[in-house]
Structure 1
Amino acid sequence: MDHQDLLAERFELHRTRLNSVAYRMLGSLSEAEDAVQEAWLRLTRTDDASIDDLAAWLTTVVGRICLDMLRSRTSRREDPLLPERLPDPVVTAEPVGPEQQAELADTVGYAMLVVLQQLAPAERLAFVLHDMFAVPFEEIAPVVERSVAATRQLASRGRRRVKDSSVEPDPDPVAQRRAVDAFLSAARGGDADALLSMLAPDLELRNDDGVHPLRVIRGADRVTRQAIGFHRAFGPIEAVPVLVNGAAGILDMTGGKPRALTSYTISGGTVRHFDIISDPERLAALLPADLSA
């Protein structure tokens, strides 16, 4: 085995961790893969004998690549015609086997990804690398081109925003599924009182149709009217239970094609967030083969 093959073998040992870093940073599965591939290319152009800790080197390189991608993305969003998007989901059919359970254990919650999108690029990098992957501030500081003290402040600001905006979901998947099924049943039956009883007063519904800017509906009353009106207008949907980043979700397969994917954040037995991707083309590209048709 030549040196390049040995280097590739060493790199593969770290790929899963690097993909996790990039996915949390970018919220895009394809861009995360691109960032990790770019890290490999940079490694091949570097004298690896000078690298003391390959895992740390690769993590900071992926972080730097993701930071550049986020800054470029933010710059493009100055175009008001560019639609905002929800992060890419990791969708799994139910039930899951032991191997899939192990994979999902390392998956960041979808609600957390949505919150991370709201951080400034440097805040996001400092928070993700330090709080999620235990990278020392001394190694993050050169990436964000700040002092160590300033980098600590970036992570602290990100941490506060995450704490203020995020919701800790109920850990029991059975309880999550029970709450989702109850919501769907009440919506189908037009039972407004039942819906209001299971929705948090300040909940948000976010809908990404891939065409328009992200639509956000706030408040239990408005979401209740929306849900009942939808089912009255379109009738019952073919709701396939799925896991979205490890939490209970629903895939609308009415007509035999994926029409919408809904991720539910259930906390304290009530629905706190709905995140809906209703772009069929995007769903077809993201869903695993056993769910896409």
Structure 2
Amino acid sequence: MTVFAKRAERLVALAPGHELEGFLKMIAALVAAQHAAIAGLPPGMLPGRAAGAPLDPVTLKRDETWRVALARILERIDVAALPEPAQQARAALAAMSAGDLEVLADRFLSGDVKPGQAAEMVFVAAALQVAWTRMAALLDAAQLDPDDAGECPACGSPPVAGMIAPGGTKFGHRHLHCSLCATSWRYVRTRCVHCGSTDKISFRQFAGTSYLRAECCQACQGYSKVFYVESARTLEPLADDLASLGLDVLVGEEGFSRVANPFVLGVMAEPDGNN
């Protein structure tokens, strides 16, 4: 089962009765299309050994694989799950030239997503995730140097969330999960993923919710989500992040910020100078 199949399954489970039910069902359909698109993609290219993240979009020369993935996603997605703006975006993307699509990819990868582009960027993000996730899966783990960093060691992208599972110490280990290529890596607990500070770290959570907290840093005003894996709870970082956008609103009202989930870029407020 691919990461996309697991993610779609989790989104389908989260959607019924949720205040964002329609949105979660749409993303579930999109992720199911990602799963269908990843099989049989062109070979593509992998970089040689280099300093830093080998799949960093800033330095990696992008090939057409992501556009093949996009075409498959647009073709295979369940259109009935798409609201009218998403259907219009799907049609517009299908008619775009390769050059225009590459411009959109550049904008997404640089975080330059305007509200008017949000519907199109959801599909662009999905296709880029497919291409980068497949490349990351082919990397030699020895090439990656997490170096206790808050950015993905494979592609340099920000994490979508962290998950703490039992193991190692009685407090468990935290693994961050990449928003682009789905790579996970160990990161120290109670340490800001944005600036690395261990001072003035505090947590926010909804009353009665024990499996999710926002780790907030007074030093840089950044925050990240931390999910606690429980034996009776199935969690998937990107899916559960989308299902907990209310927590983003809560900490955002206190002045904390982070890079938004790829599927809400251009919709959720973006940080000022916070990576």
TM-score normalised by length of structure 1 = 0.26
More helix by share: 1
TM-score normalised by length of structure 2 = 0.27
